[in-house]
Amino acid sequence: MSQVSVSERAAAAGEVPVTRAPYFVRKKKGITPRSIAVLVFLTICALFFCVPLYVVVVTSFKTMDQIREGAIFTLPHIWTLEAWDHAWNHACSGIKCDGLKVGFWNSVSILFPSLILSISLAMVTGFALALWNVRWAGGFLFLLFICAFVPFQIIMYPLIVMTTTTKIYGTLWAVAVIHAVLAMPVLTLIFRNYYKDIPTEIMSAAMMDSGSFWRIFFEIIVPMSGNILIVVLILQITSIWNDYLIGVTFGGLTGQPMTVNLANLITISTGTTNYAHNMAAALLTAIPPLVVYFLVGKLFVQGVTAGAIKG
């Protein structure tokens, strides 16, 4: 039992625990039957996880005639980009039929202001709370912790009223600002937890040097924030891009992000549904976050775990 506590202590101190003591190195032997069974099981699970992606991809390249044959898992007879073109340029959302490109550019124009707003606000707040002597910091942190869990519905109506009175309701700005507001508690906590581990020697030296809040922030803190910034960026890009509820609530008719267009397309379809169009639209919506995911890989896990408490 004593060894366990040693390793726990090491883990608590942030050291990397020794993963394999030398005398436990597995003997180099051939693959065991159990390994094969495990790998087969994992592969089957992996296939199950890939089925929806596969189905969506092949459907988006099919013609509607082939889809009507009812063989959902077959490859397209003729690969066609017609559905992609239609989804991008002509798909209907509500009464307008200008395609998903409208929503795509809306999503892009929501994403960037919202990223800048939410991250800069959370960085400054986290820095102030972590390293400066603010008397009520403890109470404020606890309040932020509670706010991070509050369901959106309980603040929905007041936020609608506030955005309406400030005349931004129904615009991209409303969606971007509300994203920044709702992300503030979680992001602040993330930054605060990161900054509080900055060695006091660095802060003392900085205080001797200039002592100015903003100079320390821009000259020391921002350059030190690289790692956490990437994690937070991943978290924010995926959650803003994938959001539906805030977009549909505050976007009105002109500020709808891509997910809202997609939801309109798949839920309200008059006449016969063209599944190729729907699947191409779904893929178009999914591609940006998937690209981020496959680019950053392991960091993505950190991003989503950090923001797990956010809805």
Partner 1 sequence: MRWSRIAPQLALTPALAITAVAFVGSIGWTIYLSFTRSRRLPEYGIDWSEWGRQYDRLFRDAGWEISLRNLIVLGLGSALAIVFGFILAAMIDKEKRGESFFRTVFLYPLAVSLIVTGAAWRWILNPTLGAQSFLRSLGWEVDFNWLAQGDTAMYAIILASVWQSAGFYMALMLAGLKGINTEIWSAAKLDGVPLWRVYLEIIIPMMKFTFITCAILLSLGVIKAYDVVVAMTNGGPGQSTWVPAYFTINALSAKSNLGYASAAAVMMLVITLVVFIPLVALTVWQQRKREAAR
Q: 128, 186, 220, 306: which one contacts partner 1 (CB under 8 A)?
A: 128
If one asks whether residue 174 binds partner 1 (CB under 8 A), the answer comes out as no
Q: Which two tokens stand for residue 14?
A: 């942030």
Q: 58, 83, 110, 159: which one contacts partner 1 (CB under 8 A)?
A: 159
Q: Which two tokens stand for residue 136?
A: 């009520």
Sketch the per residue contact string, 248 through 267, with partner 1: x for CB under 8 A, - otherwise: -x---------x--xx--xx
Measured on CA atoms in the order 6, 7, 8, 14, is the torsion positive or negative?
positive
Closest CA to 126 of 216, 196, 187, 191: 191
Q: 92, 108, 162, 198: which one contacts partner 1 (CB under 8 A)?
A: 162
If one asks whether residue 75 binds partner 1 (CB under 8 A), the answer comes out as no
- Minimum CB separation of residue 142 from partner 1 in Å reads 9
If one asks whether residue 99 binds partner 1 (CB under 8 A), the answer comes out as no
Q: Angle at Cα 170 formed by Cα 164 and Cα 175, nearest 5°?
A: 95
When the beta carbons of 7 and 254 are compared against partner 1, the nearer one is 7
Q: Rounded to an integer, what distance in angstroms lies between the CA atom of residue 311 and that of residue 309?
A: 6
Strand, coil or helix: 9: helix
If one asks whether residue 25 binds partner 1 (CB under 8 A), the answer comes out as no
Q: 79, 105, 112, 149: which one contacts partner 1 (CB under 8 A)?
A: 149
Q: Is residue 228 within 8 Å of residue 190, measured between CB atoms? A: yes
Tell me the Cα Rg of the chain: 25
Q: 58, 87, 119, 144: which one contacts partner 1 (CB under 8 A)?
A: 144
If one asks whether residue 116 binds partner 1 (CB under 8 A), the answer comes out as no
Q: Rounded to an integer, what distance in angstroms lies between the CA atom of residue 125 and that of residue 230?
A: 18
Q: Rounded to an integer, what distance in angstroms lies between the CA atom of residue 131 and that of residue 57?
A: 49
If one asks whether residue 211 binds partner 1 (CB under 8 A), the answer comes out as yes
If one asks whether residue 112 binds partner 1 (CB under 8 A), the answer comes out as no
Q: Rounded to an integer, what distance in angstroms lies between the CA atom of residue 289 and that of residue 273?
A: 26
When the beta carbons of 127 and 173 are compared against partner 1, the nearer one is 127
If one asks whether residue 154 binds partner 1 (CB under 8 A), the answer comes out as yes
Closest CA to 311 of 233, 235, 234, 230: 235
When the beta carbons of 115 and 279 are compared against partner 1, the nearer one is 279
If one asks whether residue 155 binds partner 1 (CB under 8 A), the answer comes out as yes
If one asks whether residue 285 binds partner 1 (CB under 8 A), the answer comes out as yes
Q: Which two tokens stand for residue 92?
A: 């209907």
CA 242 to chain centre: 7
Q: 28, 65, 200, 272: which one contacts partner 1 (CB under 8 A)?
A: 200
If one asks whether residue 46 binds partner 1 (CB under 8 A), the answer comes out as yes
Interactions with partner 1, residue window 226-245 (CB under 8 A):
238, 241-245
Q: Rounded to an integer, what distance in angstroms lies between the CA atom of residue 65 and that of residue 186?
A: 48
If one asks whether residue 221 binds partner 1 (CB under 8 A), the answer comes out as no
If one asks whether residue 189 binds partner 1 (CB under 8 A), the answer comes out as no
